[in-house]
Amino acid sequence: MDLGSVARETGAEWIGQPHHEDVARGSRPAVPAKDAFYEPPAGFEHASPGTVLRSRNVELAFMGLVPQKFTATQLLYRTTNFKGEAQATVTTVVVPTERDPNRPCPIVSYQCAIDAIAGRCFPSYALRRGARAIGALAQVEFLLIAAALAEGWAVSVPDHEGPRGIWGAPHEPGYHVLDGIRAAQNCERLALSAEAPVGLWGYSGGGLATAWAAETCATYAPELNVVGAVLGSPVADLGNAFRRLNGSFFSGLPAMVVAALTHTYPELHRVIQEHATETGKARLLRIEKMTTAHAVLRWIRMDMGKLVDQPLEELLQTPEVQHVFHSIKLGGTTPTPPVLIVQAVHDRIVAVDDIDALIDTYSNGGAHVTYHRDMFSEHMLLHPMSAPMTLRWLRDRFAGRPLSDNLVRTKWPTLLNPSTYRGMLRLAAISAKVIAGRRVERRPLSHLDR
């Protein structure tokens, strides 16, 4: 949709094609809240989801410090929040310099584990050169984004929590992911085909966002050619996760979710205002400004039961809280694309029982599920160790290779699989180039990790 015509029809002030700018090399980025690029133009809500509102080229850097040789294009685009209202968010897109002229360039939407409310954790900020985002997980996941780029794939990295950082909201992350792909295809300068095969990939909080995209793509974006989704340790049941993690080493994660969802669910906000102590309210306000790692370290062993004026379990059983827990639980819709789900049995953050239940829900609903249920790894280790398997699986989906007929469950650990280490050698070589700031060249698809 041409936003110029939209503006003329609605009387909006902004008229013309989507504005494009190039950020000066070496300039330090502003955080999203202070960056005018993130503000949508007047009348944007009348545009179709996936319409590009504004674009710019930016420099990316590993950990914000090591500049990369490739340039990324950031797109502000029209999307939808979980209430069905118009919203705008940003995706960061990198495309390979060399492409196969005989077929559309595959597109991977990579969902970072943002797991925070603060804009410093948004990939569109944290991945940029000069970003001050210590503790933002996206800066580490840059290595896997580079690995996908090295495959010869275009990569879209959306701010899937939206402009307000609503970590844990249902459905909305899926809309943001899918509209980010639409925006990348709609951006003429990227020259990506609408017929391109699309893969989805994310882990932990990014796996949750990927699951929402897989569940909603058939109804929200049926025109996209989504050929597969990799759900790495998705947080399938945030209610169960809250109970399990509260008071643990990772208690900052459920506290962050509560702080975020109070901005989306008025009934939850009311419960917090009525029953949280003044100390509890102040702590929730402070956690909104923390990066993911900072929140985890600051909230170690913090029990939210000590921050409310009645037994915590009584509050969790109230209709208001139960409604929130039910609405943010995965499995309400069966994914239509095939999915690969990766989960560690000894995961201290995401319970394997929750993922087993999600597997049963998806498979009973008719989804094609490949389940890697890893016996040895834990949450943090499994993400990089499963990357070779993930890349191989996505390659097969892009190549149109057949899937097995039935649900596949495997317990063979990645740590004992020789192909893991062959693939890790390639990932190590790519990571070394990223860390050294050298060009990540596209290579023919390697058979080393097969």
The pLDDT tens digits for 249-283 are 999 999 999 999 999 999 999 999 999 999 999 99
pLDDT in tens, 202-250: 999 999 999 999 999 999 999 999 999 999 999 999 999 999 999 999 9
pLDDT (tens digit per residue) in 295-308: 999 999 999 999 99
pLDDT above 70: residue 26: no
Instruction: Identify the pLDDT of residue 442.
Output: 63
Residue 226's nearest CA partner among 256, 259, 255, 201 is: 201
Identify the pLDDT of residue 51. Answer: 98
DSSP string, 177-194: HHHHHHHHHH-GGG---T
Residue 339: pLDDT band with limits 50, 70, 90: very high
Give the pLDDT confidence of 382-415 residue by residue, as tens digits: 999 999 999 999 999 999 999 976 676 776 677 7
Cα–chain-centroid distance for residue 259?
Answer: 19
Q: How far is CA 284 from the centre of its chain?
A: 23
Strand order in the sheet with 225-232: 19-22, 52-62, 66-80, 86-94, 154-158, 107-111, 197-203, 225-232, 339-344, 369-374, 408-410
Task: For residue range 312-337, list pLDDT tens digits in order.
Answer: 999 999 999 999 999 999 999 999 99
120-171 per-position pLDDT tens digit = 999 999 999 999 999 999 999 999 999 999 999 999 999 999 999 999 999 9
Domains and CATH numbers, the chain: 3-237+329-436 (3.40.50.1820), 238-327 (1.10.260.130)
Query: Does the reported pTM lie above 0.85?
Result: yes
| Residue count of the chain | 450
Query: Which residue's structure tokens are 């050929």?
Result: 227
Distance of CA 312 to the CA centre of its chain: 30
